[in-house]
Amino acid sequence: TTILGIESSCDDTAAAIVRVGGAVPEILSSVVDGQTELHDAYGGVVPEIAARAHAEKVDLCVRAALDTAGIGLGQVDAVAVTAGPGLIGGVMSGVMCAKGIAAGAGLPLIGVNHLAGHALTPRLTDAVEYPYLMLLVSGGHCQFLLVEGAEEFTRLGGTIDDAPGEAFDKVARLLALPQPGGPSVEAEAALGDAARFKLPRPLLDRPGCDMSFSGLKTAVLRARDGEMQEGRLSRRVRADICAGFQASVCDVLGEKTRRALEIYLEQAPARPVLAVAGGVAANGPIRARLMQVAEAAGAAFVAPPLRLCTDNAAMIAYAGAERFARGHRDGMDLAARPRWPLDKASPAMLGSGK
Ligand code: ATP
Ligand code: FE
């Protein structure tokens, strides 16, 4: 089965061709066209600009994905598209494009939850078996998901405010470091002393797997303002603040992951796995901490390659393939939704699939 996937829910326009049915899923192509430079000047993604760029680029991405895979629409079995959650204008661009292709080429249409795409990525790359524990940690999301099947997710906890990636980006902005903040803060942190500034470990004293990162950002702001000399910050101080901030994120993610693993292991999985997805999983020290925590709990640590951890359409094509195999088909009334919680407790999970 060959699936065309389309993704446009945030600031990346993407299309991919994935083939399933063989021993392992095969990514025939995965095209990602980012928009960072369009939003740079505004200090964040501007929904209007994103929507317009998606509308302009999505057809080109699909064309490029087909060309790279060396196939035509005639060899595609279904079109899968992110139907939410995300910025509504962008999601609509992708959904409209997918509907056009499905109608024009007479192909089945499948709406996919963006978070399901992230959550299923370890099966696309590493043939991980259910149930596994997924930590999705990106610029927009931070949650623990118990993945028991292609459409069975239980949310064990998550951030109650900012996502860690967002916190890295904001900290970078506060310290005049380049965007995206993750890599630049990580590089500074490597030069700094994490013990110099005592930053908080939010919610660590509370039971459960919920997290909070917005207070941390405020603590960074205070530390910075306390150290400013004539409106400037020494490189030393900047590195120390970055190191302190990153150490706090490590501690919080590490401890909450330990607790989530405890809950997951009650299911007595035959081969326990902690999988991660999202751009923050690229962070060296965070990754090392998660690996350590997984090992201590007797679970294998699985981190897909970064290009599949961040927003892409291969994960959407793969999640679409799983839905397709289960007989899901969407109609031309498939709606783009800004919110679409990924939890079996929520009936919205079933989408408009029939
Ligand atoms: P989402 O996928 O949730 O809609 P997104 O597109 O912002 O949001 P990703 O593309 O998965 O998320 O990841 C981007 C985020 O990851 C950014 O916030 C970036 O700062 C962060 N990030 C990237 N590299 C690192 C790193 N080395 N350390 C920490 N954070 C990082
Ligand atoms: Fe994403």
Report whether 110 contacts 79 (CB < 8 A).
yes
pLDDT at 345: 55
Report whether 200 contacts 215 (CB < 8 A).
yes
Consult the annotation and say whether 136 binds a ligand: yes
pLDDT band at 342 (very low <50, low <70, confident <90, very high): confident
Binding site membership of 257 for ligand 1 (Cβ less than 6 Å): no
Residue 353 confidence (pLDDT) above 70: no
Mean pLDDT across the chain, nearest whole number?
Answer: 93
Portion of the chain with pLDDT greater than 70, in percent: 97
Residue for token pair 């060309």: 67
If one counts every other C-beta atom within 10 angstroms of the C-beta of residue 107, the result is 18
pLDDT at 94: 97
CA 160 – CA 289 distance, rounded (Å):
22
Assembly ipTM: 0.97
Secondary structure string (H, E, C) spanning the chain: CEEEEEECCCCEEEEEEEECCCCCCEEEEEEEEECHHHHHHHCCCCHHHHHHHHHHHHHHHHHHHHHHHCCCHHHCCEEEEEEECCCHHHHHHHHHHHHHHHHHHCCCEEEEEHHHHHHHHHHHHHCCCCCEEEEEECCCCEEEEEEEECCEEEEEEEECCCCHHHHHHHHHHHCCCCCCHHHHHHHHHCCCCCCCCCCCCCCCCCCCCCECCHHHHHHHHHHHHHHCECCECCHHHHHHHHHHHHHHHHHHHHHHHHHHHHHHHCCCCCCCEEEEECHHHHCHHHHHHHHHHHHHCCCEEECCCHHHHCCCCHHHHHHHHHHHHCCCCECCCCCCCCCCCCCCCCHHHHCCCC
Closest atom of ligand 1 relative to the 249 alpha carbon: 29
- pLDDT one-digit tens code per residue, 159-207: 999 999 999 999 999 999 998 899 999 999 999 999 999 999 999 999 9
- What tokens does 172 get? 């970078």
Mean pLDDT of 51-76: 95
Mean pLDDT of 115-123: 95
Q: How many angstroms is it from 233 CA to the middle of ligand 2?
A: 34
Instruction: Give phi and psi for 338, each to the nearest 5.
Output: -65, -35
pLDDT at 158: 96
Ligand 1, pocket-test mutation among 280, 290, 307, most atoms within 8 A of CB: 280
Q: How many angstroms is it from 198 CA to the middle of ligand 2?
A: 31
CA 101 – CA 88 distance, rounded (Å):
20
Mean pLDDT of 301-314: 94
Residue for token pair 């945030």: 10
- pLDDT one-digit tens code per residue, 84-102: 999 999 999 999 999 999 9
pLDDT at 11: 86
* β-pairing verdict for 12-19 and 2-7: antiparallel
Mean pLDDT of 280-305: 96
CA 166 – CA 31 distance, rounded (Å):
24
pLDDT band at 352 (very low <50, low <70, confident <90, very high): very low
Single out the residue of 142, 188, 165 nearest to residue 11, CA to CA: 165
Which strands sit side by side in the sheet containing 300-302, from one edge to the other?
Answer: 152-158, 142-149, 132-137, 273-277, 300-302
Mean pLDDT of 337-347: 76
Residue 295 confidence (pLDDT) above 70: yes
Binding site membership of 167 for ligand 1 (Cβ less than 6 Å): no
Q: Which residues are found with C-beta within 5 Å of the ion, ligand 2?
A: 311
